[in-house]
Amino acid sequence: MINQEVSQIFNNIADYLEMQDSPNFFRIRAFKKAAESVDSYPEDVANLNIYELKKIPGIGDSTAKDILEYAKAGKIAYYEELKKASPVKLEELVRIQGVGPKTVKKLYYKLGVKNIDDLKKAAESGKIATLEGFGEKSQVSILENIKFAIVNKERTRIDIALEIAEKYIEYLKKNDAHIIKINYGGSLRRKNETIGDIDLLVSSKNPKKTSENFVNYPEIEKVLGAGDTKSSVWLKQKIQVDLRVIPVESFGSALQYFTGNKDHNVLLRKIAIKKGYKLSEYGIFKKLTNKKIAGKSEKRLYEKLVNHYIEPELREDEGELDLAINNKLPKLITLENIKGDLQMHTTHSDGTNTMLEMAQKCVDLGYKYMGFTDHFGNLQVANAIQPGEFNKYIDEIEEVRNKFKDKIKILAGGEINIKAGGELDFKQNLLEKLDFVVASIHSGFKMNVEQATNRYLSAFENPVITIIGHPTGRLLTKRPPFEFDYEKVFQEASKNNIVMEINAHPMRLDLSYQLVKIAKKCGCKIQISTDAHSVEELNLMKYGVFVARKAGLEKDDLYEYFDK
């Protein structure tokens, strides 16, 4: 699937265009819109013809031809020309939060910055602070964000890694009749938000043939190692995939071994030793006789050692083994527990689909309720609704309600920016007419802990707020979260019946599961929403559920507007 690759190229083209002396903002916006549409499109755009491509919102004749060119040649000539003509490594530099195309252009002409190494040297030497429009604070921030970018350089978002793993498994199943069992393990199976590499485990009647099929996958860029029981490859998607071929009688124990994190596995082995057993990837064995008593079934292994099966998402050595032993494991939520979505955007602001289209998709998903939350206020980048457009927005929601009145409950909401002082960026009398309000921080991220805490506490004084959207403002692998006094904010939110969001969009997954645990402890209800900007993005709910499961959430921990 080439969607993410094409989307990234379109975003890069937009950045190159923005660096030009006389940037064409219409073209820049067109490429960014095309990038967003391709990224969220559910099918592989490589399989579409030009007429089908042009039916995708945001894709015109030119960008459709670019996609066809990439599908055929693996590159886009126009993009290659822009890269060749540029004196800087733009893709590398704009990965740094706070460094956009305009900043790159200024840093190049003033300080000769061409890449991250140059940027780091300029910041460490104090030169950036001397530039007009920067200062010491900006320089420190750039250095911190360089460190963040380096740490996250080789991490892959879970949605991308999961799709790669599932496609690889699909290929192997289709092309290898010898396979008995196959699954992915590691951090991907634990549903971590970003993944280092992908582990595949397989049992086969013919290990040699299965290993050969593995290294013949068409998406391989380089074979790193090939053997009958262990092989490694580097994919064109820039991620490593390792294969372990396991005897079927040990598949369960191997799956356990390659799923739990190191500390979880060490503690589980200690529990086995106390019970008179030895535990390895090959099974559970009696210490004295070396007799194997479990290994084929992962569920049986856990039941033998700690009484209950532990779901993969929980295997982080955060008390889950004690909970299992003491019969206190939570009954984790599932996607089936989700009855509605309370953050989505339409063509009234920065979405690509109409209200009717979004409502129909929510009906198709089997939801009982949904809420429109287009941007309101002065957020120009999101084409936010202005006060004079409010009634038109409400009127269309009413029309859609009437059309779907017997199928789904439709709520009129809005997403409002929380300003630096905690005020909401829209007229209070209009906000009071909405069914609910999602309040989020979309600007002024450079805050210390005290400033961020006070910003939220001040906002909580406004009684219209229902939900706090993407509470830490992070963008995975791109922008670090801002910090606040989590317990203080969550406790105050709970007192005011304000709900905390798990934003299910894979580029956010905000709150993180660690913070969801704290929010739950402080008494907050949790709302999982997709923040969808298209019909396709309404399918992202499962990623928010992954976060909730890692946090140990049960059905009663969720906020359900429908039950009010």
> Cα separation of 168 and 159, whole Å?
14
Q: Which helix (H) or strand (E) holds 547?
A: helix 541-550
Q: Can you tell me the distance from the alpha carbon of 144 to that of 141, in angstroms, rounded to the nearest whole number?
A: 5
HEC assignment per residue over 293-340: EECCCHHHHHHHHHCCCCCHHHCCCCCHHHHHHCCCCCCCCCHHHCCE
Q: In what order do the strands lie in the sheet with 283-286?
A: 277-280, 283-286, 292-294
Q: Are 524 and 500 in contact (CB under 8 A)?
A: yes
Is residue 264 within 8 Å of residue 317, measured between CB atoms? yes
Contact 361, 535 (CB under 8 A): yes
DSSP tag of 248: G
Q: pLDDT tens digits for the chain (564 residues)?
A: 688 789 889 999 999 998 888 888 888 989 988 988 887 777 778 889 999 999 888 899 999 999 999 988 888 999 999 998 988 888 888 877 678 888 888 888 888 999 888 888 888 899 988 888 888 888 888 888 777 665 555 689 999 999 999 999 999 999 999 999 999 999 999 999 999 899 999 999 999 999 999 999 999 988 888 888 899 998 888 888 999 999 999 999 999 999 999 999 999 999 999 999 999 999 999 999 999 999 999 999 999 999 999 999 999 999 999 999 999 999 999 999 999 999 999 999 989 899 999 999 999 999 999 999 999 998 776 788 999 999 999 999 999 999 999 999 999 999 999 999 999 999 999 999 999 999 999 988 889 999 999 999 999 999 999 999 999 999 988 888 999 999 999 999 999 999 999 999 999 999 999 999 999 999 999 999 999 999 999 999 999 999 999 999 999 999 976 544
pTM metric for this prediction: 0.79
The tokens 């990965």 sit on which residue? 95
Q: What is the pLDDT of residue 564?
A: 42
- Domain architecture of the chain: domains with CATH: 3-151 (1.10.150.110), 156-245 (3.30.460.10), 250-325 (3.30.210.10), 335-563 (3.20.20.140)
Widest Cα–Cα separation across the chain: 81
Phi/psi of residue 535, nearest 5 degrees: -60, -45
So what's the pLDDT on residue 93? Answer: 86
Helix, strand, coil tally for the chain in percent (to 5): 45, 15, 40
